[in-house]
Chain A
């Protein structure tokens, strides 16, 4: 028997449950109570494409240092699902803990010798206390939270406070939950050796004023703040909760006080083709509009995306990426739609992508995307993913500059037209590649034009002449270069020591990357890092690569899609840019990144600097 794992504020608890058993809210309660003790947590739902019956897991990383990426490995398994028992038990680290419902005796072969076993007869306690079957089911979850709070030293007052917030005005529910919690706590105190469990939570002050929110909720709020008035969507995991959150935010924040009428329109369309069509129609007509979807939805929208790009109509598409291809792994996470979004549609098309790292940037970038769509008159993709979108993540609070006004871009008004300004719908007047547009209905005699997906000249007149086509395509290229300058710029994190090695990453890889850089640094591997936040790439991306001998590109897909785009956009030696790829559908971990980079550095025969110096 290895020594029992001992850790304060630095461990992973995994709950194995049955989908639809009411475990989700109890597990979230567990995570929030630790957060309220000032200790950062990073929870993740690992759920099936199913409503009831299939296995589901909830993993909570308790991390005083604030490492919010998935760690990998499990220190304490709360094994509530007989169906997955064997694989759950196998996953526990040697010296770790297994918490289970001991109502029915289990053969010793079901356990591991190198794991500490904690049995609580949850079903028996429930059956003795409750008669109603649903109550027996639901309170079993609260009872295990109670028992765990005793074992891990979680302050029960924090849990009770959370109950108080959740069941405000529903005293009966509040009471019964508090009682169930006490039931679990009392049983644990009477029957368990709490000292035998050596992973503990200790009050800290590392949460600060950060907020705990899901990326989809944050992106929806960004759409409200960014002035979206039209939302069209089609249900698809993992993006559905984004449109639903938009609806609930709008219900609170977007009704006219005097009349009660809605300052927004939401349409659940018949499919993704209609969703994007509605968005494009609204954008053409001067409303800010967005849709949220995931990979298969993008596939369906592709023809329309080409139209919006070529006819230069603003649109915002939030792609909450999941595992592909095809239906793929609908409830798992990946960053594998970069190519399908960046180059969506037939002909020479390229699109603007934004890569938020967390809910805070989901909020910011969605609001920003609505400005960029108007300014650039083109579709803007916000490339989030399931890991950010559907998990609560600790992040900096949302901020909004009170003086900020929506930037509607180049729009010619009736007054401009009356003043005799020349209007050419596709005429570049100042060299940035972006023409002026008019909203339909602007002026009785001036400024009308025909929008089409066919080739046209500067004045929107249909033309299939080669030179006219080429002029237009070159202007669009110029507009793309403008996008690279005004989209969110990459952020650089420099190693304390000079190094010839760099790493490029983006999006939800961010927390694992930050932790991996610490690991690498501790092992004497110095690496500079650049977080790419948008496509087309800033010149800073090429400069960063030129500055280093080798640059790792870390991403969550098989084909190194960001790397392909970098190779495609810049002139580089391909051997210099080294892929680090994780794509099994689980969120990337610091352990994986650090190990893979260390291994590759070894292959380059690198001796860490401090060792070389000695």
Chain B
């Protein structure tokens, strides 16, 4: 970690996006994570995605649980509100926050301990409720802050730094998210920015429960031989199913692809997801085949990455609850209180 404060002044030649912000405006405080931590790369990818999407920084709400990954929201989009909640329970807080103001962009950041171990229940339920959010798990298979214990995503047989083999079966967050009803599910690798940034952009534009499982090696406790979450292992076993181009509605589509090499999916907000096929025929809008492909990958020891499943026309929790268009937190006394005359009628009905 570094102790040097970031200078607040920007170089005048930094390029501004359509919202009038430079990339640096999406940065946060200096990271206190270990040098080389995958989480910092993911934070950088989130910064890049927000910059490229021309998001107003204060329109983002960042929520996290407890752990190394959950510290990350401090390190991106500093002009937005953040909430470091309790261990494993960020999903419920994000659900409540989202109910209060449907207009903000919700970014949930969690880890494998936070979401797969202590918080598995809340993880499952936020997916099935269809909360409009991007939920990123920075997945390193290990507890960092408490120094190297296995988490629930550690693969069976994976060796800890102390040389102990993990005897419990691992939880695959991607399979779980698809099963629980998430409508956008992808997996990536912290070391693959070119795959990760478009995935984050697409997830943030998705109007429903979007989940990204990002393998993010822990340089301090899980980057050794025998680990299945090390940089080396993931690089060797990364099986990318597709490369995603995220195209906003207003953008012109310039690049051409040979017929049969790309599929496009248009999301509800008009954005287009163009998936460049890598080797095999894969349809991410087919939930059953997505599950099958992910399970095949698990069986063969591949880390299957890319956009794995998307429902381009999801309904979110607000749609299910039929809430008014104005954010609930903007409603005033006159909107909410039925008044004294109505109360008299209620009194009369109780006599």
Contact = CB atoms under 8 A, between A and B. Distances in A.
Contacts, number: 227
Interface string B70-107: 00011000111111111001011111111111011000
Helix, strand, loop or mixed for chain B's interface? Answer: helix
B322 A273 contact: no
A439 interface: yes
Interface in B295-351: 317-318, 321-325, 328-329, 331-333, 335-340, 342-344, 346-347, 350-351
Contacts of A286: 100-101, 329
Given A227-B336, A304-B86, A453-B86, A277 B96 contact: yes
A311 B342 CA distance: 37
A254 B336 contact: yes
A-side interface mostly:
loop
Given A227-B336, A259-B324, A277-B122, A285 B84 contact: no
Contact of A453 (B61, B84, B121): B84
Interface in A270-306: 270-271, 273-287, 289, 303-304
A274 B128 CA distance: 14
B272 to A, nearest CB: 27
B161 interface: no
Interface stretch (A117-125, A440-448, A590-598, A606-614): A440-448
Contacts of A444: 56-58, 79
Contacts of B95: 232, 267, 274, 277-278, 281
B340 A401 contact: yes
B: contact size bracket: 35 or more
B125 interface: yes
Nearest to B344: A397
Centre residue among A211, A229, A438, A440 by max chain B CB count within 10 A: A440
A253 B83 contact: no
Interface string A239-264: 00000000000000110100111111
B100 A282 contact: yes
Contacts of B336: 224, 227, 229, 254, 263, 406
Given A262-B323, A440-B80, A452-B84, A287 B328 contact: yes
A265 B317 CA distance: 9
B328 A263 contact: yes
A221 interface: yes
Contact of B78 (A209, A304, A402, A448): A448
A405 interface: yes
Contacts of A283: 96, 100
A227 B335 CA distance: 9
A448 B96 contact: no
Interface in B170-209: none
Nearest to B87: A303
Nearest to A449: B81
A261 B343 CA distance: 22
B84 A451 contact: yes
Interface of B: 56-59, 61, 63, 73-74, 78-86, 89, 91-101, 103-104, 121-122, 124-125, 129, 317-318, 321-325, 328-329, 331-333, 335-340, 342-344, 346-347, 350-351
Given A273-B92, A400-B340, A449-B82, 11 more contacts: A254-B338, A263-B324, A265-B318, A270-B121, A270-B124, A274-B125, A277-B91, A284-B100, A401-B340, A451-B84, A453-B84
